[in-house]
Amino acid sequence: MSRYVPPPPAPASALRALEGKLGATLPPVLEGRYAASNGGTFGDPRNRDCEWQLHPVFDATDRKQMKRTGEDIAHYTKLALKDARFPRNGISIAHDYTLARQLLVLRDEATGAVGDAVFLFDVFQNLWCAPYAIDLQAAIDQARIPEAVQPDPARALPEFPYYADPFRSGVMHTSGETCECCGQATGYIYGGSFYAVGDESHFCPWCIADGSAAAKFDGEFNDSAGVGMGEVDLPASVVAEVSQRTPSFFSFQQEQWWAHCNDAGRFLGEIEHVDRALLASDAGTDLVETVCETAGLGGDTDWQWLLDTPSRKRDIAVFVFGCVHCGKLGGYVDHS
């Protein structure tokens, strides 16, 4: 058996050229992987017969590399988009030798920034954009997680009525870790805050959603005093749902929860992840005004800067919520 030799690194110029072609900025993890090796294969722990083939980045260094990398990410993305079920803002990064199963990342239409999260497109399972791994490195690493602790694709993730997508915000991710509440490795783990006397905080989504983690360890995921932002008194059942059965989000200061129509809002994420048309609509007018005022943003340029700069590169974060009744947007500015 011949020893597996990983492909050589992709030069920085090749990565820049790809970004130009896609009109996208690659996230550091993806870029790091290609800077180490331009392509290669890794296993799919959910399907031991499958092997992911990472598409290369076109490398014009010499003839040999040109030939090897001709069918690159841009090529496969173009092919993938011919299938109407493939997400329109998806970028195909790997396939298992057929186009029926692919891994993809998502490009933010407005900023061109590509998110770290890796998604699964699987025609056989009717999955068009299912969470697969928090980033490419995790996708490669999870192939080494024992089969028994892989997420069960048949078990639907619980819904959080006040939280749009805990995977997108990053507080939930795929992992082989054992839940500190139920003791099971479900394939997903929570990594956000949990206020309790003990140290336990790594729970599976189910133990959060059904309240068992909060009950067992007598804690809160979100500070109950901050639900309603100190401005409105909400029904106790709403405060309990948000504080005890809803994931938190990463913030500089202790999180607060916006409320409207006598109910808690649904957490939509940081402002750069919120649909821009929605922000620009009537529903967003008050939010935009409040944010500009609190953050001291002068005009359109400042506003654009806020939308185009990833939050890790600025000292303010803006958290956006949507009213579950009237659709109005609200939220607040968080300072480091």
**Nearer to Zn ion (CB atom), residue 132 or residue 190:** 190
Cβ neighbours of residue 208 under 8 Å, at least 6 residues apart?
158, 160, 190, 214, 221, 245, 246, 247
Indicate if the alpha-carbon torsion angle 202, 205, 208, 212 is positive or negative: negative
Q: Which residues share a beta bridge with 330?
A: 321
What track of x and - describes contact with Zn ion for positions 50 through 89 (by CB under 5 A)? ----------------------------------------
Return the residue of 100, 261, 277, 280 that touches Zn ion, per CB under 5 A: 261
Q: How far is the CB of 74 from Zn ion (least distance, A)?
A: 41
260 lies in the site for Zn ion, by CB under 5 A: yes
179 lies in the site for Zn ion, by CB under 5 A: yes
**Nearer to Zn ion (CB atom), residue 107 or residue 260:** 260
* Closest to 20 (Cα-Cα) out of 98, 96, 72: 72
CB-based contact 294:319 (threshold 8 Å): no
Return the residue of 15, 105, 172, 204 that touches Zn ion, per CB under 5 A: 204
Distance CA 260, CA 323 (A): 6
Q: How far is the CB of 182 from Zn ion (least distance, A)?
A: 3
CB-based contact 101:123 (threshold 8 Å): yes
Return the residue of 18, 94, 117, 181 that touches Zn ion, per CB under 5 A: 181
**Nearer to Zn ion (CB atom), residue 39 or residue 205:** 205
Q: How far is the CB of 101 from Zn ion (least distance, A)?
A: 29
**Nearer to Zn ion (CB atom), residue 118 or residue 181:** 181
Stretch that binds Zn ion, among 5-13, 242-250, 281-289, 315-323 (CB under 5 A): 315-323
**Nearer to Zn ion (CB atom), residue 61 or residue 178:** 178
Phi, psi of 15 (to 5 degrees): -65, -40
Return the residue of 24, 207, 274, 291 that touches Zn ion, per CB under 5 A: 207
**Nearer to Zn ion (CB atom), residue 10 or residue 189:** 189
**Nearer to Zn ion (CB atom), residue 87 or residue 161:** 161
CB-based contact 119:105 (threshold 8 Å): yes
Distance CA 54, CA 93 (A): 6
Distance CA 192, CA 171 (A): 5
Q: How far is the CB of 113 from Zn ion (least distance, A)?
A: 30
325 lies in the site for Zn ion, by CB under 5 A: yes
Q: Which run of H or of E encompasses 34?
A: helix 28-36
User: 3-class secondary structure for 257-299?
Assistant: ECEECCEECEEEEEHHHCCHHHHHCHHHHHHHHHHHHHHCCCC
Please state at what angle helix 12-22 crosses helix 73-81, rounded to 10 degrees: 20
Return the residue of 323, 330, 332, 334 that touches Zn ion, per CB under 5 A: 323
**Nearer to Zn ion (CB atom), residue 225 or residue 326:** 326
Binding residues vs Zn ion (CB under 5 A): 179, 181-182, 204, 207, 260-261, 323, 325-326, 328
